[in-house]
Amino acid sequence: RKEVEQDPGPFNVPEGATVAFNCTYSNSASQSFFWYRQDCRKEPKLLMSVYSSGNEDGRFTAQLNRASQYISLLIRDSKLSDSATYLCVVISDGSSNTGKLIFGQGTTLQVKP
Amino acid sequence: DADVTQTPRNRITKTGKRIMLECSQTKGHDRMYWYRQDPGLGLRLIYYSFDVKDINKGEISDGYSVSRQAQAKFSLSLESAIPNQTALYFCATSDFGPGGVEQYFGPGTRLTVT
């Protein structure tokens, strides 16, 4: 079983739709969680951190469920520019000081006009 | 100018050849990382370095070696390239800090081993 798992998609949605991605992680000692965005053939970039209380940044909402060991990303009012691959990332070695990230394989979102 | 640069950006090489991928950063970060990305597998950590004197193996270090020449430079070598090392390679940097820290990625090197 992979340490971090995502549905690879693709998710094809119309502009304006709301779409949600889930990601599960296997190590219950995982400390920190993130969503990165990767455009086609480009480098990943941090989209947002995921806090225990959940957090929102504009149209994006991230949530953490420690009991069920999953994190989610909700995108409201999808834009064409949201088309990308979204990577779920976990610091999974029990010590967030080491900074070693474990990446999911990514979920591809395609927003269509 | 980009904070994290990688050279070359694209490389085609033959099986058995030695190849070096270079990474430089101007962010002043102590920590540097090498990842490879394959379709359907996500990014996997090859090696990481927390300072010039600290080198650590990642998840998939076999067939690779690294050199941390300075705080700003971290090179990845394939001593004898093989076709299954064909992948997209990323260098990344991060600052030290608790609670998980953002990693900054270079633009990637697309390596093809024939």
Q: What is the pLDDT confidence band of residue B17, given thresholds at 50, 70 and 90?
A: very high
d(CA A41, CA B2): 17
Length of chain B: 114
Q: How many CB pairs under 8 A join A and B?
A: 55
pLDDT at B2: 72
d(CA B80, CA B11): 15
Residues of A in contact with B42 (CB under 8 A): 4, 87, 103-106
CB proximity B29 to A under 8 Å: no
Rounded to an integer, the average pLDDT of B59-82 is: 96
Residues of chain A with pLDDT under 50: 96
The answer, yes or no, to whether the previous bond of A8 is cis (omega within 30 of 0) is: no
pLDDT tens digits along A21-38: 999 999 888 888 999 999
- Asked if residue A13 lies in contact with residue A19, where contact means CB atoms within 8 angstroms, the answer is yes
The Cα–Cα gap between A98 and A78 comes to 35
Give B106 to chain A, closest Cα distance, Å. Answer: 6
**DSSP assignment letter at A41:** T
Proportion of chain B above pLDDT 70, given as a percent:
94
For residue B8, say if its preceding peptide bond is cis, omega within 30 degrees of 0.
Answer: yes
Do A7 and A73 touch, CB atoms closer than 8 A?
no
Angle at A22 between CA A19 and CA A27, to 5 degrees: 165
Is residue B30 less than 8 Å (CB to CB) from chain A? no
Is residue B10 predicted with pLDDT exceeding 80?
yes
Q: Are B87 and B37 in contact (CB under 8 A)?
A: yes
Tell me the C-alpha distance between B25 and B28, whole Å. 7
Stretch 35-64 of chain A: residues touching chain B, C-beta under 8 Å:
41-46, 49
Tokens 């994290």 found at: B4
Query: What is the DSSP-derived secondary structure letter of residue A94?
Result: S
Interface contact A106, partner B, CB < 8 A: yes
* Distance, CA of B27 to CA of B2 (rounded, Å): 10
Q: How far apart are CA B109 and CA B22, in angstroms?
A: 9
Mutate which of A100, A102, A107 to test chain B, going by most B C-beta atoms within 10 A?
A100
* Average pLDDT estimate for B18-28: 96
* B36-51 pLDDT tens trace: 999 878 899 999 998 8
